[in-house]
Amino acid sequence: MELKEILKNIEVKNYKNGKTVDFGKLLKKADSGKTKAIYDAIQTIEFNGLVDDTPDDEMAQRILSYWKKLEKMKRYHFMRIFIGDAYARGSGVPADIGKAISWYKKAAKGGTPFGNECIGMVYFNGTGGIPVNYEKAYKYFTKDKCKKSFCTKYSLGEMYRKGLYVEKDKLKAWDFYSSIVTDTHFPGYELDDYYWRACYRLGQLNLDNAFELIGTAKRIYDSRGYNAVSTDITKEELELKWKTVKQTGKSYLKKQDRRMGSKQVCYIADFLPDLTKGKIYEVLDEDEDTYSVVDDENTGAYKYGRHCFKEV
């Protein structure tokens, strides 16, 4: 977006309190090199949605120049990630995935491990013409011994779920998805697209909690008001899975309740040596003709005819 258009037609709000700001004055302070003004200018531009992610966009170019000024300061080394993202997207500069990777590496060397994860995502997704390479993706995802971001955890979960470079391992996939869903320490966790996607994947792997997990994924997706066609889970797939879960969820949970011993029966016969007449047993499973119970030997569950028991 051009500065002249903004100054003429747009009321720019302060990103902290929502009050109108003198945008031209703020940019002049930022252009003079004052650190706080630079940071405030970046936040204000992004808060007001003044950036078009194109190489020729004036605001995108301005933000990129601000990031490059800040990244030279030790406390702002993480800005190198944003610079890399700008080159990857072509925001304020022609898209150049090679330069993006270079900035991500610079970020990692400067103490921001997420830089290596960003490189991993480039190879995982095949960004900017780079061929998909799961071996390299895994290498960069696991290069640093630190807490991983949601995008890296989800991608590693996908690799183990599908057997991409690594051997298929549903338990490891489960662990990575779970580490996202249980990481609710910051207020905006549901705003991260990888959160609802992890809920969906867990719902596929765990039928016991499918109703809750896929329901959460559906609720978050619907609240966004957009079609997440750029993700690996389409709107159509999510809708179909939710419909199936709603239809089967209640009957499945009832069956699980029976297996967990919610039904009790009393043994009324007297010809089975491993059962005691008049004793109450929990039903672990049942079908039309039998109950599955743990007998007096307590060595496992065995099936016995339903006619030998009465419900209690």
Q: Where are the domains of the chain?
A: 1-112, 260-311
In the chain (312 residues long), the average pLDDT of successive 10-residue segments reads: 94 95 96 94 96 96 96 94 98 98 97 97 96 98 94 97 97 96 87 93 85 91 70 88 78 53 84 89 85 81 88 88
- Answer whether CATH 2.30.30 is correct for domain 260-311: yes
Answer yes or no: are the C-beta atoms of 86 and 60 closer than 8 Å.
yes
Query: At 199, which amino acid appears?
Result: C
Instruction: Go through the chain and tell me how many residues it has.
Output: 312
Asked if domains 1-112 and 260-311 share a fold, the reply is no
**Torsion angles phi and psi, residue 31, rounded to 5:** -65, -25
**pLDDT (0 to 100) of residue 235:** 87
Q: Are 110 and 102 in contact (CB under 8 A)?
A: no
> Is 291 in a helix, a strand, or coil?
strand
**Total-model pTM:** 0.77
Q: Is 300 left (phi over 0), alpha (psi -120 to 50) or beta?
A: left
Burial degree of 54 (CB within 10 A; 0-12, 13-18, 19+): middle
Q: How far is CA 97 from CA 113, 130, 217, 235, in A?
A: 19, 8, 32, 29
In sequence order, which ranges of 163-276 are alpha helices (DSSP H)?
170-181, 193-205, 210-224, 235-259
Token pair 């390479």 in the structure block, residue: 133
1-112 in CATH: which number? 1.25.40
User: Which tokens go with 164?
Assistant: 């991409």
